[in-house]
Amino acid sequence: MAGWDGQSPVAAMPDAWILHASAGLLVLNKPAGLLSQPGLGPHQADALITRVRRRWPQAQLVHRLDRDTSGLVLVALEPALHRALSIAFAERRVEKRYVADVVGVPTAEEGRIDWPLAKCQHRPPRYGVDPERGKPCRTDWRLLEADGSGCRLALQPHTGRSHQLRVHLQALGHPIVGDPLYGAAHPHQRMHLHASLLAFVHPLSGERICVQSPVPFARPSLPPHA
């Protein structure tokens, strides 16, 4: 199938990416390195929703993950369901959980980050903490395992700002391993951020749905954190 430019090929979506399918919705497991939706130009034509629409032309993303983040994405196959799920996300009735490997180890076992975020005008598409212009954000975190150089955190965002988890953790002093924008990139290592759980009530059927995806990367071996 041709891409948006009519020339670039778009690969098929493997069935293994479908972790849940019922009542007009799909919960998909997006790999790292794939856009959620197409960008500008032929080199950004391939995307998760483009692949989904090869089989379901009416499909719509309910939310997005960054290209370098892997994990669970919700797709609606009916307009009414898309509207209802979008409202559920806006009203924070969808539980989202992530797992991240970060540089360094926090001094506490758990915590809350509530620094407001805004786009950095001088360096888009980067975001940063901005008490004056920033929009309210909240991320709860919990330590899962650690050694002297790094640790694995469970993350629960209660807002859905662009790059929220990545910026909050960088500002906390513990950037995500492999993050190409916020300070812990490695040329041969993917970003260690994975959307591991989505839980919500189906707006039309009333069914409680909880889908989980295992973390696809091992904890890295890191040099001592200064």
CB 129 within 8 A of CB 114: no
Query: Model confidence at 224, in pLDDT bands (50, 70, 90)?
Result: low
Q: Does residue 5 register a pLDDT over 50?
A: no
What's the average model confidence in pLDDT over 154-178?
96
| Strand 117-119 versus strand 127-129 pairing type | antiparallel
Q: Does residue 202 register a pLDDT over 60?
A: yes
Q: What is the pTM of this model?
A: 0.90
Query: Which of 46, 66, 68, 179 is an active site residue?
Result: 66
What's the average model confidence in pLDDT over 68-83?
97
Which amino acid is residue 78, in one-letter code?
A: E
Residue entry with tokens 């069914």: 207
The pLDDT value recorded for residue 172 is 96
The pLDDT value recorded for residue 7 is 43
Query: Model confidence at 6, in pLDDT bands (50, 70, 90)?
Result: very low
Domains of the chain by start residue, with CATH: 15-212 (3.30.2350.10)
Q: Which residues contact 95 (CB under 8 A, 6 or more apart)?
A: 156, 197, 198, 199, 200
The pLDDT value recorded for residue 98 is 98
Query: Model confidence at 184, in pLDDT bands (50, 70, 90)?
Result: low
The pLDDT value recorded for residue 225 is 56
Is position 130 annotated as part of the catalytic site? no
The pLDDT value recorded for residue 223 is 64
Residues pairing with 102 in the sheet: 151, 176
Mean pLDDT computed over every residue of the chain = 90
Identify the three-state secondary structure at position 135.
strand
